[in-house]
Amino acid sequence: MLQHDADSGAVADAGRSALPAADAGRLADTPAQDRSGRWTRRLGPEDRAALGFWIAAHVVLLVLAWAADWAFRSQAAHAPLTSAFEHWDANLLQNIAQYGYFGVHSTAHTIAFFPGFPAVLSLTHLLLRNWVLSGLAVSGIAGCFAVVALARLANSRRAVLYLLATPAAVFLMVGYAESLFLAFAIPAWLAATRGQWWRAALLAALAGFVRPDGLFLTAALVIMALTGQYRSAGLATNKSGATGAPLRRKRLTNAAIAFAGLAGPAAYEGYLRAKTGSWLAWSHAEQAGWDLHLTSPAQALRTTWWAAFRHPFSASIAFEFQLELAAMAVMILAALAFAGWRRWPEAVYCGLAVVALGTSTWFQTCPRTLMLLFPIWVALARIAARRPWVGYAYLTVSAPLAIVLGMLYLSGQWAG
């Protein structure tokens, strides 16, 4: 759609998802809770299954790229297969990696993109010497960490399957920042559920250096610390005997540590202030480059509805706005469901995403943001384990959309 990333929970333990306490309690004593959480340990069956799904998704991606190249080619001349991945934000992120934000050849307003992915892309290019392949490599390797962490967080491979079947799943595998963000964000959440707050804060800061969604993540981690909705060395269950003031001090200390996750976006904001002299440089770039500015939720909904159903644009663009509306509806329902289950960290993470996208000019990149709300896939996996028809229904609707939207992106007709 528009060529921009609209830059823009806590489970009680690794084996409990974002479900009501009565449901989560039934899953509390699973053997997988004994996992150390260290990446250096041997991969378990769920980890290997998650990586298998990730590899299979890339096979599908290559098939779609080949099909899109032939189905939408306007000329008989041969074009390299890598051209299917050179679209929209991938090109802008490559431009940042190659020329920086303020170079002579830099594209205007690219400061709207956070620097984490371009920095890693630039380093990877030193080895591969090809920008497209470097972008695919960064997302591919980052995705390995993301899917394994998600399988551990949910204690189920199903969560990975549901993530990879989201309509916007293609952006996990191409030269976009989504996989790198999840590679930091999900392990940060997993560390927090285990009471490893300094690790969680560091990973959250790195996630916030990749995408502004890191702000929502840090807020959710702070809420997790304050509410005690995590598994720690006796803190959440009070086995340590801490009560009253000592318990409150411990939670406040953990929340303060989690708050350090803001260091990532704060560092980038400080950089922009030093280079431009303005604390509003990022929001000005959003408005100048993509006409995104703050508005009321009612106005944002009206504008998006107008674009989706009043026929001001072509049918393909109207379809994209219809997807934006559908994704926003899912995010709102998820935030309300988590709040109803009193899963406050998850509710905050999803709710802040709704607020950010729902107060912009119109809904934009909602399908991609929905993909980043990993507590939804954790909860869906747990629900589907008890009610398989829910998982089948989701896959029946979402997987075909993922194929269609993948074809549209790879043929240069959809930016996400």
> Which residues have C-beta within 8 Å of that of residue 330, sequence separation ≥ 6?
370, 376
Q: CB burial class (10 A; 0-12, 13-18, 19+) of residue 348?
A: buried
What is the model's pLDDT at position 74?
63
The closest alpha carbon to 354, from 340, 336, 342, 341, belongs to 336
The closest alpha carbon to 182, from 134, 148, 220, 157, belongs to 148
pTM for this structure? 0.87
Any idea how long the chain is?
416
pLDDT in tens, 140-167: 999 999 999 999 999 999 999 999 999 9
Angular region, 155: left φ>0, alpha ψ -120 to 50, beta rest: left
The whole-angstrom separation of Cα 142 and Cα 181 is 8
Mean residue pLDDT across the chain = 87
The closest alpha carbon to 409, from 87, 62, 5, belongs to 87
Q: What percent of the chain has pLDDT over 90?
A: 73
DSSP string, 187-234: HHHHHHHTT-HHHHHHHHHHHHHH-TTHHHHHHHHHHHHHHT-S--SS
Instruction: Categorize the per-residue pLDDT at 341 as very low, low, confident or very high, splitting at 50, 70 and 90.
Output: very high
What is the model's pLDDT at position 229?
80
The closest alpha carbon to 219, from 187, 192, 247, belongs to 192
pLDDT in tens, 180-235: 999 999 999 999 999 999 999 999 999 999 999 999 999 999 999 999 887 643 33
* Mean local confidence (pLDDT), 345-352: 98
pLDDT of residue 240 exceeding 50 = no
pLDDT of residue 113 exceeding 50 = yes
pLDDT in tens, 323-340: 999 999 999 999 999 999
What is the model's pLDDT at position 73?
67
pLDDT of residue 28 exceeding 70 = no
Query: For residue 39, what are its two tokens?
Result: 């990446």
The closest alpha carbon to 119, from 142, 136, 94, belongs to 94
* Mean local confidence (pLDDT), 290-300: 93
What is the model's pLDDT at position 315?
84
**Amino acid letter, 396:** T
